[in-house]
Amino acid sequence: SVFFTNLTNEQLKELVVSLGEQEYRARQLQHWVYQKLATSFDEMTDLPEGFRRKLVEKIKLPSLTLICHTVGQDSTVKALFALSDGRTIESVLMPHREGGQCRYTVCISTQVGCPIGCPFCATGQQGFERNLSAGEIIDQVLYFARWLKERGEVQPSPISNLVFMGMGEPLANYANLWQAIEMLNSPQGFGLGARHMTVSTCGLVPQIKRLAREKLQIGLAVSLHASENTLRNRIVPINKRYPLGELISAGREYCEKTGRRLSFE
């Protein structure tokens, strides 16, 4: 069986048809998972019971198991999740006030550990274990959306921003990252505007250039940490492969092709 959130629109349609149902059932399923935030097929009361029974055998919901959930003094929430293979990741929910409303940003992990090895970063010291699937990336967002819903925060979606700045280097897991972004943006999926998503990178130049050619207008943030090569080589080791001159050039290309500013961290 597969995790629901790993399925693209086309894959879900194919699965639904293979179970003897009409294609439109795929949209119903996505509405339940991404909009109504269902975690079991029993909740999906407008689907035939026989179909729901077949789905239980074929599809799993969701891909993450909560281990620990901590709320800080400033109302920031950190969640520790176990993946299906027992490895663990963390995600963070950050509140911010806008007028009278409280909006939330989710900080999402894209890898278990990280291959970059920056000496100041705890994840870098952990080393690299594996990439997260698209579904494991998406399910971090859905977990916090459910948590906010259970607390009664249901205005359109209180999650207003997504930042791919948790564990791992997002652009080193490009295919799964992009599949997750497309579903989180899709009207059939979570339906969040691309301009409300920001990907952070330590400076993978070929992937920055690839990102500049994508259709969705997402934000880009570069973890700079130093403005000259000698120091940056030491604290962001990938700089030895893609030094500042190449990084700045790729950043300019990104701005020219997308018409968007990038930010340096």
Residue 13 CA to residue 23 CA, distance in Å, equals 5
Angle, CA 230 vertex, CA 229 and CA 235 arms, to 5°: 90
pLDDT, position 88:
97
Query: Burial letters for 30-50: b for 16+ Cβ neighbours within 10 Å, e otherwise?
Result: bebbbeebbeebeebeebeee
Instruction: Tell me the Cα Rg of the chain.
Output: 19
Amino acid at site 209: K
Q: pTM value?
A: 0.96
**Rounded to a whole number, what is the largest CA-CA distance in the chain?**
64
E strand or H helix that includes residue 71:
strand 65-71
pLDDT, position 125:
87
Residue 258 CA to residue 162 CA, distance in Å, equals 19
- Cα–Cα distance list, 237 to 124, 195, 232 (Å): 11, 30, 7
Amino acid at site 171: L
> Per-residue confidence of the chain (265 residues) as pLDDT tens digits?
799 999 999 999 999 999 999 999 999 999 999 999 999 999 999 999 999 999 999 999 999 999 999 999 999 999 999 999 999 999 999 998 877 788 899 999 999 999 999 998 889 888 999 999 999 999 999 999 999 998 887 565 689 999 999 999 999 999 999 999 999 999 999 999 999 999 999 999 999 999 999 999 899 999 999 999 999 999 999 999 999 999 999 999 999 999 998 999 8
Amino acid at site 231: L
pLDDT, position 145:
95
Residue 189 CA to residue 198 CA, distance in Å, equals 18
Q: How many CB atoms lie within 10 A of CB 74?
A: 7
